[in-house]
A = this chain, B = another copy of it.
């Protein structure tokens, strides 16, 4: 086994993908933010244009997908062909009377390496943006379960993860 980001001296490096094939790559990552009832009501409240919280967070997430190579040091610059963020608010509170908002980020590219980091960064930044926009009313939010749901393309083929 080897960690492909390291050379023989243990120094980090951007792994050499020059001999890998260009194939269509897809990755889907997801995560959630757990908010209290006051934040949930504020988001669901008719007087607040809910769409905007998610519009800003969606915009941030998509911009982060494209900026991933500047955020995660060893990631390659990739010409992303598609990026999308989807949201789902769970209207049933959990046992603590709190609510989950789920976020999913789908990324595609034609490239020599996969887009899982782009999708994971996209979903993380989208959730952090929700946090930022709602933190005036809830200071106890928690972001969790950020993981790769699915990826396809490249040597490792089709991978599906379940939590």
Contact = CB atoms under 8 A, between A and B. Distances in A.
Nearest to A57: B73
Contacts of A163: 142
The SS class assigned to the A binding surface is: mixed
Chain A contact patch, size range = 35 or more
Counting every copy of the chain, the complex holds: 6
A122 to B, nearest CB: 10
Nearest to A48: B3
Interface of A: 1-7, 9-18, 24, 31, 38, 42, 48-49, 51-56, 58-60, 62-67, 69-87, 108-112, 116-117, 120-121, 124-125, 128-129, 131-137, 139-148, 151, 156, 159, 161, 163
